[in-house]
Structure 1
């Protein structure tokens, strides 16, 4: 786990087809802020025969920022672990990856696929039974769990210490689900934020007692902001998966094949080590 990621393998983390008609689909198209995408959605075959919404591109929806999985670097380019893995998929399809930044719930609900906004979602998405009702998932590519971030000098060491305090959570996440489930028993109240940076920065600014989210991003935030620290993890058995429309079976097969090949030839481990500093867990 990230608490000892410099000396042991890392296990880290971040949750029925949606039918949109006419005006609803058009409304969704206006919600996205596209990082690198301004073309109109059309259908075009990739080299493998996979149908894509934009010619010559694997259009991927994400929700920024979620460092180190997907975020903008100092030059404004979207980078991260998920980005590099989806580049592997795009290479298999003989196309380039184009990224669309959009609200997380639109990805997990499948709305972006019904509206032909994206081909796939790559946003550190935990695979859950509820999410599988709306979208298909490629094979799991990452193990995760939840973690509690607090101010380093707060004296808080566990969730129970938040009694009477406010816990920051991110909307539409499994961390929020976990926090809501335990709020009554532990005596804290939750405050919902739209993204990870906002919730973590609330801890940094002292406006909340703590924040809960995937351990990978929490350890990364604490590394960049040493006045905060991760004090507790929760083994929730979560795994990340790239998602896509339920009817997109050709792309699903291509994604699974690309991920399997990347693990077999060492590409996955190289990418993992680039972002987390250690070899990928043997599993």
Structure 2
């Protein structure tokens, strides 16, 4: 149920409160994370500023910091109208992913019928590249994607944009894919470090940079210039909020606020910045 907010934009809670679900179950700065009970990160700062420009006050959902198994499960919160916005490093192609893999036994049988009431995605606030990370102690021969051969296995996060990229670009060449559940205690990088049959991991570059920093034997040996749009998912019944957030994002890009926030969290090439 959408209630009237204190301003012109409607929200779930009303009273000018923008309720947001952030992914905070693993230390994947600079997207979003927690310090104590406080949400921090690039998505948090971008959405907080967008909320202010829409005359709203952003508040994390009560699920802040709790484990949830997959981005698509978080997306469900927006689809049902339980929250106003889901900020999970989501890509609009998630619905295509859902349709393509809903019957996969690794995918936990999420019902494709949910896409009949899809969330509204904002304009992108980030263009995501992927990193290819390798355990160079186990596989010193792998120094780039060009070194992969048929029969080798790479790991990806389930329901992530990189998974679709691997399926479309590497699987046809005989490369196998091992999907790791989002939010797993063992990240794909540590899984690669422990299992010699996985030669490396392909995942979001900013996330994989953080994870690789804590594992000395893991190196990012290649970067995939994918430019996958990353966007916020909005309650599908709230078109006014969707429009307000898009207007706010455009204004932030135009006046330089977006760039200031980006520089606070990222050291990636400027190609990942929304133009």
**1:94 pairs with one of 49, 56, 77:** 56
Q: How many matched pairs?
A: 239
Deviation at 1:59, TM superposition (A): 1.4
Residue in structure 2 matched with residue 260 of structure 1 by the alignment = 250
Give unpaired runs (5+ residues) of structure 2: 97-114
Structure-1 separation of matches of 2:230 and 2:44: 14
Structure-1 separation of matches of 2:214 and 2:258: 25
Q: What does residue range 104-143 of structure 1 map to in structure 2 within 5 Å?
A: 104-108=71-75, 111-128=76-93, 130=95, 134-143=118-127
Q: Kindly provide the CA deviation profile for residues 133-189 of structure 1, in whole angstroms up to 9, marking residues without a partner as x.
A: 722211111111222111133221234426434321111112112223345444333
**What is the TM-score of this pair, normalised by structure 2?**
0.75
Q: Residues 145 and 233 of structure 1 are in contact (CA less than 8 Å); yes or no, is this contact kept in structure 2? A: yes
SS of residue paired to 1:82: helix
Deviation at 1:250, TM superposition (A): 0.6
Q: What does residue range 121-200 of structure 1 map to in structure 2 within 5 Å?
A: 121-128=86-93, 130=95, 134-153=118-137, 154-155=139-140, 156-159=142-145, 160-161=147-148, 163-195=150-182, 198-200=187-189
Structure-1 separation of matches of 2:248 and 2:208: 29
Structure-2 separation of matches of 1:53 and 1:206: 45
Deviation at 1:243, TM superposition (A): 1.5
Q: Kindly provide the CA deviation profile for residues 179-219 of structure 1, in whole angstroms up to 9, marking residues without a partner as x.
A: 23345444333222122662222124345321111122122
Residue in structure 2 matched with residue 9 of structure 1 by the alignment = none
**2:235 pairs with one of 226, 231, 245:** 245
Residue in structure 2 matched with residue 218 of structure 1 by the alignment = 208
**What is the TM-score of this pair, normalised by structure 1?**
0.73
Structure-1 separation of matches of 2:178 and 2:71: 17
Structure-1 separation of matches of 2:58 and 2:125: 21
Distance change in 2, residues 1:79/1:58 (3 Å): same
Structure-1 separation of matches of 2:209 and 2:80: 35
Structure-2 separation of matches of 1:78 and 1:265: 25
